[in-house]
Amino acid sequence: MQISSTIFGTIENTEVKLFILKNNNGVEVKFTNYGGIITSIITPDKNRDYQNIVLGFDKLDHYLSKKYLDSYPYFGAIIGRFGNRISNGKFSLKGIDYKLSTNNSPNHIHGGFKGFDKIIWKAKPFKNKNLVGVELTYLSIDGEEGYPGNLQLKITYSLTEENEFTIDYFAETDKATPINLTQHSYFNLGNEPTILNHQLQLNCEKYTETDSDSIPTGKILSVKNTPLDFRKIKTLKKDIDYLEIGYDNNYCLNNDTGKLIKAGKLIDNKSGRIMEVYTTEVGIQLYTGKFIPELIIDGLKKFGAFSGVALETQHYPDSVNHPNFPSTILHPQEKYQQKTIYKFSAKD
């Protein structure tokens, strides 16, 4: 197994690195300590042809460009303090009202104007007999984007010989604070310009209902007899026309004990690639990328609507304002810990 790094660029005179993890099967994961962004994951198809299966860029400048940020899809980034939306950017905790930045007006989304997706993480590579990885650390200070408490974070990315890419999240705080970390990679397992022919299966019987602004109503509903039912595997396009913007829904995993469970799997029959998702989280957000921008990269058109699908393991959106949802509050003396595994394979 191999681990290496190179210079990816600079931001405000600070050096940004690109790390490369590679196992003996030829699976390769590249990511940068700017935002913890995964820039590519290379896996073989059924014919042993290797290809990148996530949306991303090979130059730091593309992640910083105005056109990309104007329609910001968060390609491959670490999301926090709070993944997904918080209604009106407001919540109350221990009798104190907090107002967060409203970067998705009138709501708060994915940690604010400068969330964990836009900071430079300290990075420390590690290696043992079974895996290679990088430890990313960051101190989010009290008041950052409106959040209370100094939050000490550690996130590790690692790759095994079993083609498992693992994300481990750890955090501690000195003041009670909401926390809901996730990873925002978009996957396209094949060679087609969209993921609509991909097949998806999710081990989820319920989802959180949302209003027209994608804010939860507080109701948890059954997927039965709805377009949101992926308990049996089906193509993403099968029922997508029933939904105005495609899928952008939080599914409930019935995992309140925090065990590592299988959330589901994504399959591209043409390439034969399979991705299984395992997590300790209570929910998974399915987003089929209706608003991914089409960009001109080095003279070529790339990306666009439905060019990738995100499977974001996380707690429920706006949990801080819904007491019936699993809690996202981390208290002093407690330890936040979550794990997600993306496992790659291909049909024979």
Q: List, for residues 263-278, the tens digit of each pLDDT value.
A: 999 999 999 999 999 9
* Dihedral sign of CA atoms 346, 207, 307, 105 in order: negative
| Amino acid found at 285 | Q
C-alpha distances (whole Å) from 40 to each of 18, 20, 68, 243, 289 are: 11, 9, 17, 30, 17
Separation between Cα atoms, residue 3 and residue 24, nearest integer Å = 12
Separation between Cα atoms, residue 58 and residue 61, nearest integer Å = 9
292 DSSP assignment? P
Separation between Cα atoms, residue 99 and residue 109, nearest integer Å = 13
DSSP-based three-state secondary structure for 294: strand
Query: β-strands 283-287, 309-314: how paired?
Result: antiparallel
Separation between Cα atoms, residue 99 and residue 93, nearest integer Å = 11
Domains and CATH numbers, the chain: 2-346 (2.70.98.10)
Separation between Cα atoms, residue 181 and residue 178, nearest integer Å = 10
When pLDDT is cut at 50, 70 and 90, the band that residue 208 belongs to is very high
DSSP-based three-state secondary structure for 144: helix
Tokens 């836009």 belong to: 118
pLDDT for 146? 98
Tens-place pLDDT, residues 125-151? 999 988 999 999 999 999 999 999 999
Tens-place pLDDT, residues 76-109? 999 999 999 999 999 999 999 999 999 999 999 9
Q: In the predicted model, is pLDDT for residue 203 greater than 80?
A: yes
The answer to whether 18 and 31 have CB atoms below 8 angstroms apart is yes
Average pLDDT, the chain: 97
Span 59-83, average pLDDT? 97
pLDDT for 129? 85
Q: Where are the alpha helices (DSSP H) in the chain?
A: 60-64, 66-70
Residue 249 in tokens: 């829904």
| Nearest residue to 265 via CA among 282, 290, 286, 241 | 286
pLDDT for 298? 87
pLDDT for 122? 98
Tens-place pLDDT, residues 209-258? 999 999 999 999 999 999 999 999 999 999 999 999 999 999 999 999 99
Catalytic residues, which ones?
Answer: 184, 312
Torsion angle in degrees (nearest 10) through CA of 31, 37, 39, 45: 90
Q: In the predicted model, is pLDDT for residue 348 greater than 80?
A: no
Q: In the predicted model, is pLDDT for residue 190 greater than 90?
A: yes
Span 320-347, average pLDDT? 97
When pLDDT is cut at 50, 70 and 90, the band that residue 27 belongs to is very high
| Nearest residue to 164 via CA among 25, 348, 303, 266 | 25
Residue 79 in tokens: 């999301």
Separation between Cα atoms, residue 269 and residue 46, nearest integer Å = 9
Q: How far is CA 169 from the centre of its chain?
A: 12
Q: What is the largest CA-CA distance in the chain?
A: 59
Residue 264 in tokens: 């589901």
Would you say how long the chain is, in residues?
Answer: 348
